[in-house]
Amino acid sequence: MNQTVVSLRDRQYSVYFQNDMKHGENWIRHHVQRQILIITNAEVANLFLEKFVRTLPSTHVVETYYVPDGEQAKSLTHYEAIIKYLIENHYHRDTTLIGLGGGVIGDLTGFVAATYCRGVPYIHIPTTLLAQVDSSIGGKTGINHVLGKNMMGAVYQPTAVGIFYEVLLTLPERAYIAGLAEVVKYGLIQDAHFFEWIEQNTHKIRARDQVALMYLIQHCCEIKAGIVAQDEHDHGVRRLLNFGHTFGHALEAASEYSLYLHGEAVSLGMVMASRMSNELGYLSSSECLRIEQLLINLSLPVKLFEPISIRPLRDLMARDKKNSSTDPCFILLDGIGKAKLVYKVSSNLINKVVISCHESALVD
């Protein structure tokens, strides 16, 4: 069984890579406490819950809590309902929470774990590509507020992460493609060779070729683990993982989390941030085109789905968590494979790159 270790200052945990979920029993039993609550949704549960429960020790108490599918589950309402369920059903600190699902389930489960009884252990079983390559590692947990994405949360690390490649076979095409945006992001911010590998293996990636996927997922997890090890609390290099996310999160919130999948918004955000990097002279036009061509080849969006008003988008960006004042912070590219933070960007340039992604975007 392959594993990647996330080494933090005061502790470490493993990300386990296996094809078949049934092999999870080899490691899961070492990480669970007496009382287990699996948090999932009906879609994921129908596919994997029965098989997953068989990996847990039969001596333990195992129950399941269901939240609705989709981004709406990352809300105060559902967070509070889970806390109420835990209290009413006498869950104590000898509880392990398990998030079985995509990034939404993972972020929500992690935030409940971070706050219930001032913290109980949790395990991630990410079932989307996006969650396997990104959200399940690094302990960023949280829920949304109508005024902004992930505005309530905590950095709280899981006890272990279990990646099973087989779960990706049932993932709807749109969700699978959306996850590829975070994959491309890793190449862009720190690994030009990996970016090139993605370019050369687009067909295999699109076809979900198992060998290509195993390499791709493990490589992304290693990059992420390395970045988190250097900067667990997001004060420095970890911020670069937000390439494309300043625009992306604002696009998601502006459309009330209903128009774009997270990865689609990140793809558009990466196009805007690349064009901004080009306008500021950090990224050549040919590199900018190369990035967009790869996104197109992977069927990721490079054009907004609908016209948008830019002023509300700029207001949302001004509230982004990365900002130190109301100046939105952008992660820009200094060439493919190298990223940097830039704080002072004119409103005109923000308008220009958004308009470049939809000719009917409205400035006010």
Residues that bind ligand GLY (CB under 6 A): 134, 138, 140, 234, 238, 241-242
> Which long-range CB contacts under 8 A does 212-215 form with residues at least 24 apart?
213/165, 213/168, 214/17, 214/19, 214/165
Based on the shown chain and the rule CB under 6 A, indicate whether residue 44 belongs to the binding site for ligand NAD: yes
Q: Which of ligand NAD, ligand GLY, none does residue 130 bind to, with CB < 5 to 8 Å depending on kind? A: ligand NAD
- Our finding on whether 140 is near ligand NAD (CB under 6 A) is yes
User: Which of ligand GLY, ligand NAD, none does residue 238 bind (CB under 5 to 8 Å by kind)?
Assistant: ligand GLY
Angle formed by the axes of helices 245-254 and 310-318, nearest 10°: 120
In the block, residue with structure tokens 């409205």: 362
Contact 121, 159 (CB under 8 A): yes
What does the block give as tokens for 52?
A: 């997953």
Using rule CB under 6 A, residue 287 touches ligand NAD: no
Q: In the window 188-227, what residues touch ligand NAD (CB under 6 A)?
A: none
Q: Does residue 70 bind ligand NAD (CB under 6 A)? A: yes
Residue of 326, 331, 301 whose CA lies nearest to 314 = 326
Nearer to ligand GLY, 134 or 252 (CB): 134
Residue 126 vs 138, nearer CB to ligand GLY = 138
How many angstroms separate the Cα of 224 from the Cα of each of 133, 210, 227, 276?
A: 8, 21, 5, 25
Q: Which stretch binds ligand NAD (CB under 6 A): 55-63, 127-135, 286-294, 352-360?
A: 127-135
How far apart, in whole angstroms, are the C-alpha atoms of residue 64 and residue 215?
A: 32
Binding partner at 262 among ligand NAD, ligand GLY, none, C-beta below 5 to 8 Å by kind: ligand NAD
Which of 81-103 are b and which e, b meaning 16 or more Cβ less than 10 Å from the residue's Cβ? ebeeebeeeebeeebbbbbbbbb
Give the residue with the Cβ less far from ligand GLY, 242 or 267: 242
The rounded distance, in Å, linking the Cα atoms of 283 and 275 is 8
Considering only residues 163 through 182, tell me which ones interact with ligand NAD, judged by CB under 6 A: 167, 170-172, 175, 178
CB of 27 to ligand NAD, least distance (A): 20
Q: Which residues contact 258 (CB under 8 A, 6 or more apart)?
A: 71
How many positions of this chain bind ligand NAD (CB under 6 A)? 32
Residue 263 CB, nearest approach to ligand GLY (Å)? 11
Question: Out of 14, 35, 96, 135, which residue is the one contacting ligand NAD (CB under 6 A)?
Answer: 135
Q: Of 115, 114, 244, which is closest to residue 181 (Cα–Cα)?
A: 244
316 contact, one of ligand NAD, ligand GLY, none, CB 5-8 Å limit per kind: none
Residue 161 bridge partners (DSSP): 15, 124
| Site for ligand NAD, rule CB under 6 A | 41, 43-44, 47, 69-71, 74, 101-105, 107, 127-128, 130-131, 134-135, 138, 140, 150, 167, 170-172, 175, 178, 261-263
